[in-house]
Structure 1
Amino acid sequence: MTKNNKLSLLFAAAALAVLPALAQTPAERSNPLLVPSPLPLQYPQFDQVRDGDFAPALDLGMAQQLQEIEAIAANPAAPSFDNTIVAMERSGRVLARASGLLFSLLGADSNPARQKLQADYAARLAAHRDAVALNPKLYARVDALYQKREQLGLAPDQVRLIERHHRNLVRAGAQLDEAQKTRMRAINAELATVAARFNQNVLAEVNDSALVVDTAAELAGLSDEQIAAAAAAAKARQLDGKYVIALLNTTTQPALAQLENRALRERIYKAASARGSRGNAFDTRALVARTAALRAERARLLGFATHADFVLKDETAKSATAVNTLLRQLAPAAVASARRDGAELQRLIDQEQAAKQQPSFELAAWDWAFYAEKLRAAKYGFDQSQLKPYLELKNVLENGVFYAAGQLYGLKFRQRHDLPVYQADISVYDVFNADGSQLAIFIADMYARPSKRGGAWANAYVAQSALLEQKPVIANHLNIPKPPAGTPTLLTWDEVNTLFHEFGHALHGMFSDVRYPSFAGTSVPRDFVEYPSQVNEMWADWPSVLANYAKHYKTGEAMPRALLDKVLAAQQFNQGYATTEYLSAAVLDQRWHQLGADEVPGADAVMAFEARVLKEEGFDYAPVPPRYRTPYFSHIMGGYAAGYYAYIWSEVLDADTVEWFKAHGGLQRANGDAFRAKLLSQGGSQDAMQLFRNAVGHEPRIEPLLQRRGLVLTPAAKP
């Protein structure tokens, strides 16, 4: 027996040794994480789980799963689908429950105790995953089934499940020699620790970088409600009499579209874009560089030239060449469109300054959103401030998002107030099928808070599985600034679109109808997962849906038809900016992860590398910065590493599917039922691109995307 095998057995034995001791403690007997929640659909017991419950549950969960895996691996019976693959699917329930809840709360409602747990357990959880994935006896059983999978008389989803487990083990390093496995364990442990530090630094830096403003006069352009919210934020920081503008995790900040004070706009932009590279305690450059180097080294261990090659082999894109081709097809047209729009904004600035008899100035990144709103008003006769009174949050959610789901899929929603929540402003809904049967529970967590990470996302607190007899509990998380008490939450159009988008993810999770947990809901390739959610965005401005929710928060009057028509007419407005800021971030992601292990720059060269990439790829247009700069690009330090291109890749499928919906009558139950049955319910149980073909009836076409975004490819760039 090799030294490393001995170490693995010692690790397993040590973990198993905690079982009897833990099982005898009063804390264990009262720990709600160790058994399925007794609440409806196993809804989490947010009011019962204490931070102190996580560590013993994680310890016990890891020990139990190692025991379960060892029993599978050492089974004297010949490998079978049931005694190996199904047993693997059933393993680790306590660990999944405890870690799933912990990491969900770390995103939505972090605190020092949970952050310490994250730091303490990051490397231990990585070692646990390696103890499972690098178990040679387990791999031997799975490989034996994989080699004869077509002769076992199994259903297609069962064959696919064997392939999924085999692929996962190989990609985790199951075929490496012992020395390579040792290095793989070390890399994974360090990556987990670095990722935890990065996430905590980004959250802390967002809070630390909030702008303090001395006078209300500097906030001219903001609404009274926004100014009151800024005053309340300052008071919460014990800065009475001042105003605080909190930052989001994007480069461009919402307030830039409204603030008339150019100097303040510049302060906000520079504070936002400098995050993670200021040389303070929250600087992430060393963490980014180390992560890129470790990922590249791991890819090389597994036989891939780069981390991007490793990731993309398992996506629908299949190769870095395919991704680079798409991004480089779109980039010139997007940047050209942005430059044309920028020239128009510059003319507007020049005219405005001349009218004031003041010197003009060059359009900068902190000016774009402000003057784009002026240009929108001039071109289309409205700006975002005219829309907001018609876009009250609860009305948009219930009479927009839910209404569209009801029309398309027959769903019904009922808010309930008897289930616990981790924050008082969270809403919970039962979701019912058209026949009255319960489909899921939906959690709506809409507001920004200092304890919440940036962005918007969906997650499953309970994933659907027929094998485990589980129905889904799905949450959506946004970061909408919370107004002062007693005032309505009025949304921007982008926030409305995000609400519909994230609910598309929720539908994907709620409609899941698969046997095995590995295939549940959004367990699909990363460059496919955004596709159904982007399709759901189409209903935000669908005339009958918009008319149902776009009603004035005071009077209940519908948005005037003339304003509605202007909104629809302006759909392509500012698309050059939107496409360019996204594509530049996607290109940064690819270039970081297409580096070899010996090519990754050091911490001091991170920003220089970013600047060089943007210049080489044609994105060196200062008024349009990347949506995320490297030091706070949380997507690519997490699950979207070498995968941020997925949004535009998925949008090719999305735009094509929108055309299919329109051609078949739009918001019709027959269309919704077909999309649910052929795609949304299937999770990862079938090939992703086959699901697209099943739903739409043809191969994907890029033309609908180009038309949507108002882009025209040059002849040389056309696919």
Structure 2
Amino acid sequence: MTVDELRENPLLRESPLPYRLPVFSEIRAEHYLPAFEKAFADHLAEIEAIRNNPEPADFANTAEAMERSGTLLRHVALVFFNISSSDTSEQLQAIETAIAPRLSEHMDAIQLDSKLYERFSQIDTAGLDRESGRLVEKYREEFIRMGAALDDQAKQRLRELNSTLSELSTKFSQDSLANLNSAAVLFDEVAELAGLSSNEIAAAASAAEQTGNLGKYLLTLIQPSAQPALESLHNRQSRRRLHEASISRGQGLTDTRTLDLAVQMATLRAERAQILGFESHADFETSDQTAPSLASINSMLGQFAPAAVKNALAEAAALAEEAGHSIEPWDWSYYSEKVRKSRYDVDLPALKPYFELERVLNDGVFYAANKLYGLSFTERPDLQGYHPDARVWEIHNDDGSGLGLFIGDYYTRDSKNGGAWMNPLVEQSDLFGWQSVVVNNLNIPKPPAGEPTLLSYDEVVTCFHEFGHALHGLFSDVRYPRFSGTEVPRDFVEYPSQVNEMWILWPEIVSNYARHYETGEPLPEETIEKLRAAKLWGEGFATTEYLGAALLDQAWHQLAPGAEPGDPLAFEAAALENAGVSLDLIPPRYRTGYFNHIFAGGYSAGYYAYIWSEVLDAETVEWFKENGGLSRANGDHFRKELLSVGNRIDPLQAFRNFRGRDARIEPLLTRRGLN
């Protein structure tokens, strides 16, 4: 690429927009590869200058220099991988396929560099401030953990393994998205969708029309096994079709067989762990988490499983009694809602008119953040997101100072990965004077133009949950990019997001946002009380479904090096049976063939993190209740001691600073009905 072409590449120019928001209107697919090439070259040159510096290693010329290096690469990667997960295309997928192994090789060149590691070993940390000392410590740990002290032969094999695993992960992600889209279920007659709301039927008709099936109805899928429409569909055969389409993804019957990719990745990860000195990939992954050991994780999951299954079986009996016949997996959600209604007089599908997206966001999610932290939100239609559905808000502190930008991308589309997530586009750092720009992605079916977006109760929960991640990123107050925002151990990162869910039914919050979209009538207080009373109903299913996925993850990643898992479906069945969570009525939240968290994301051997973090979350909810609940003083304390510190201090110490002691498991056991 010529100098002029490089100069015209918007990814290589400093953004003139507020908070360094990328200029999405100018970025095209052809800009990414040249930007990556320049970013790779610049970063390697910066690393060479550090490793070959003739001056003795010190904090400024080695550790801080490392933090200043690679900023262009980080910028390009954050933009690209946000787009490739949120609004991909064949061209972007081809770039991702080419770039993923290059990134792996690039990072190996740095992390396996013995000379670079030696410089860090020579830094005198005496007199450094706490954050700077921790930075040096973390770099040293990472060099050892990733193999910098190994011999050349071992390093070469690590490079090969890392490159291959990167390629396989990218392929799993892309194939899983294709499988998710192809698994959508097409219905010929509207009668087959009896039980869905008029808005949901209209959305299904619109989705069918977009795929060339005018006059028919398409139910698209979300990433987990359980599909929301199963709660409402009266037609049992319709429920069965939707359920079986969901749980058979990746088996190669009508789609791409992602199961084989999972087997390859699990066995290669086991080999890599052995080279690095660990007994399994799970041991390797646990080595830099807050969990003290793999044994402690196994113990916790094992402790929960019997009680969860016992509760689930009791629920199954109640469902069969309600149905008047034995139930199948596709019946569970449908009759669970009927039992919820008969026992607690709560009909969740009927509540959707009270959960309209704009009110949930502005009068719920944002309102809670205002009451707790003094934040104000101003939508910025003058700032363009990466897709027409991606909306931009500027956030200010109560003193008027700018905090950062929040991008909300709420609707599902074929070009977007399933599920929900948060990711940064710009990470806060005092070293560079940067503030945060963060994105929330959900997958809510988009209604026809002019129709309201009515959410299920679960989608309301997801809105609050993902914004908890956003707050963790936005509130970051650290010097070094390595410690910014959500750059914390994986088994800690879900904690702030789970805490934010507590405000969903908090009296002052729910009365503000839960209002009928046509009449403005508030959700009746007696209904809210019934929702609170019904919270334990379904916990047997929810905990068993979750544990099935968490224990399946551990089974794949506690494989011994050289072990052959054999047929992946047989392996999956045996793993669930051995863990005591094999219930035909409750498939794992994610089965192997579409378990993106562990085969295409950062949660390999780490799906346990959700319930591990929930121990801290349940304790935090107790603290808020003990100290007066929704107040600025409480919000400011949580922000100061925990949400703002990123990873600049040990996360569990941050929790102690907030709570005043270590967490106890009892509040979680009570919440989930496991005690």
Which band: TM-score by shorter chain? over 0.9
Q: Of the candidates 581, 586, 596, which is equivalent to residue 550 of structure 2? A: 586
Does the 8 A contact of 1:584 with 1:619 survive in 2?
yes
Q: Give SS of 1:555's match.
A: coil
1:326-365 pair list within 5 angstroms: 326-350=300-324, 360=325, 362-365=326-329
Q: Give SS of 1:476's match.
A: strand
In the other structure, the counterpart of 2:582 is 620
Shift of 1:136: 2.2
Shift of 1:26: 2.2
Does the 8 A contact of 2:440 with 2:466 survive in 1?
yes
In the other structure, the counterpart of 2:447 is 483
Question: Counterparts of 2:444 and 2:253 in 1: how far apart (Å)?
Answer: 29
Q: Give SS of 2:234's match.
A: coil
Shift of 1:318: 2.6
1:550-569 pair list within 5 angstroms: 550-569=514-533
Does 1:287 find its partner at 2:261?
A: yes
In the other structure, the counterpart of 1:441 is 405
Does the 8 A contact of 1:586 with 1:645 survive in 2?
yes
The amino acid of 1:66's aligned partner reads: L
Question: Counterparts of 1:172 and 1:549 in 2: how far apart (Å)?
Answer: 48
Shift of 1:280: 5.1
Question: Counterparts of 1:545 and 1:448 in 2: how far apart (Å)?
Answer: 27
Question: Counterparts of 1:699 and 1:136 in 2: how far apart (Å)?
Answer: 38
Q: Of the candidates 7, 16, 34, which is equivalent to residue 56 of structure 1? A: 34
Q: Give SS of 1:666's match.
A: coil
Q: Of the candidates 304, 318, 322, which is equivalent to residue 278 of structure 2? A: 304
Deviating above 4 A after TM superposition, structure 1's stretches of 4 or more consecutive aligned residues are: none
Does 1:218 find its partner at 2:218?
A: no
Q: Give SS of 2:644's match.
A: helix
Gaps of 5+ in 2: none
Does the 8 A contact of 1:292 with 1:600 survive in 2?
no
In the other structure, the counterpart of 1:251 is 225
1:188-267 pair list within 5 angstroms: 188-267=162-241
In the other structure, the counterpart of 1:688 is 651
Does 1:657 find its partner at 2:657?
A: no
The amino acid of 1:88's aligned partner reads: M
Does the 8 A contact of 1:101 with 1:461 survive in 2?
yes
Q: Number of paired residues?
A: 674
In the other structure, the counterpart of 1:273 is 247
1:314-333 pair list within 5 angstroms: 314-333=288-307
In the other structure, the counterpart of 1:375 is 339
Q: Of the candidates 31, 50, 54, which is equivalent to residue 9 of structure 2? A: 31
Question: Counterparts of 1:112 and 1:331 in 2: how far apart (Å)?
Answer: 42
Does the 8 A contact of 2:545 with 2:588 survive in 1?
yes
Shift of 1:486: 1.0
Q: Of the candidates 33, 45, 69, which is equivalent to residue 23 of structure 2? A: 45
In the other structure, the counterpart of 1:698 is 661
Shift of 1:591: 1.1
Shift of 1:279: 4.4
Q: Of the candidates 538, 542, 555, which is equivalent to residue 506 of structure 2? A: 542
- How far does the alpha carbon of each residue in 1:188-245 deviate from its partner, in whole angstroms, 9 at most, with x for none? 1100110111000000001111111111111111111111111111111111121111
- How far does the alpha carbon of each residue in 1:496-529 deviate from its partner, in whole angstroms, 9 at most, with x for none? 1111111110000000000000000011111111
Does the 8 A contact of 2:576 with 2:582 survive in 1?
yes
Question: Counterparts of 2:334 and 2:462 in 1: how far apart (Å)?
Answer: 21
Question: Counterparts of 2:112 and 2:580 in 1: how far apart (Å)?
Answer: 43
The amino acid of 1:512's aligned partner reads: S
Pick closer, same or farther for the CA change 1:446–1:518 going to 2, 3 Å: same
1:125-140 pair list within 5 angstroms: 125-140=103-118
In the other structure, the counterpart of 1:639 is 602
Question: Counterparts of 1:600 and 1:680 in 2: how far apart (Å)?
Answer: 43
In the other structure, the counterpart of 1:12 is none
- How far does the alpha carbon of each residue in 1:614-659 deviate from its partner, in whole angstroms, 9 at most, with x for none? 1111112111110000110000112000000000000001001100
Shift of 1:467: 0.2
Shift of 1:437: 0.3
Question: Counterparts of 1:286 and 1:625 in 2: how far apart (Å)?
Answer: 20
Does 1:77 find its partner at 2:55?
A: yes
Does the 8 A contact of 1:457 with 1:478 survive in 2?
yes
The amino acid of 1:708's aligned partner reads: R
Does the 8 A contact of 2:597 with 2:607 survive in 1?
yes
Question: Counterparts of 1:560 and 1:105 in 2: how far apart (Å)?
Answer: 41
- How far does the alpha carbon of each residue in 1:311-356 deviate from its partner, in whole angstroms, 9 at most, with x for none? 1011011311000000011111111001000000011111xxxxxx
Shift of 1:600: 3.7
- How far does the alpha carbon of each residue in 1:560-619 deviate from its partner, in whole angstroms, 9 at most, with x for none? 1121211121111211111110011000011111111212414xx101010001111111
- How far does the alpha carbon of each residue in 1:361-390 deviate from its partner, in whole angstroms, 9 at most, with x for none? x21110000001111110111211221111
Q: Give SS of 2:107's match.
A: helix
Does 1:95 find its partner at 2:73?
A: yes
Q: Give SS of 1:250's match.
A: coil
Q: Give SS of 1:592's match.
A: helix
Q: Give SS of 1:298's match.
A: helix
Question: Counterparts of 2:449 and 2:299 in 1: how far apart (Å)?
Answer: 50
Question: Counterparts of 2:612 and 2:331 in 1: how far apart (Å)?
Answer: 30
Does the 8 A contact of 1:203 with 1:453 survive in 2?
yes
The amino acid of 2:515's aligned partner reads: K
Does 1:673 find its partner at 2:651?
A: no
In the other structure, the counterpart of 2:375 is 411
1:389-538 pair list within 5 angstroms: 389-538=353-502
Does the 8 A contact of 1:122 with 1:193 survive in 2?
yes
Does the 8 A contact of 2:114 with 2:148 survive in 1?
yes
Shift of 1:287: 0.7
The amino acid of 1:698's aligned partner reads: R
Shift of 1:44: 1.3
Shift of 1:50: 0.7
- How far does the alpha carbon of each residue in 1:134-182 deviate from its partner, in whole angstroms, 9 at most, with x for none? 222211101222xx43x3x100111100011112222221011000010
In the other structure, the counterpart of 1:606 is 568
Q: Give SS of 2:44's match.
A: helix
Pick closer, same or farther for the CA change 1:280–1:373 going to 2, 3 Å: closer
Q: Give SS of 1:621's match.
A: coil
Identity across the alignment (%): 51
Question: Counterparts of 1:84 and 1:423 in 2: how far apart (Å)?
Answer: 40
Question: Counterparts of 2:608 and 2:296 in 1: how far apart (Å)?
Answer: 11
Does the 8 A contact of 2:120 with 2:139 survive in 1?
yes
Gaps of 5+ in 1: 1-21, 351-359, 713-719
Question: Counterparts of 2:129 and 2:63 in 1: how far apart (Å)?
Answer: 13
The amino acid of 2:77's aligned partner reads: S
Q: Give SS of 1:667's match.
A: coil
Q: Of the candidates 98, 102, 110, which is equivalent to residue 120 of structure 1? A: 98
Question: Counterparts of 2:474 and 2:586 in 1: how far apart (Å)?
Answer: 37
Q: Of the candidates 127, 146, 150, which is equivalent to residue 176 of structure 1? A: 150
**Cα RMSD, aligned residues only:** 1.0
Does the 8 A contact of 1:35 with 1:94 survive in 2?
no
Question: Counterparts of 1:620 and 1:441 in 2: how far apart (Å)?
Answer: 44
Pick closer, same or farther for the CA change 1:387–1:281 going to 2, 3 Å: closer
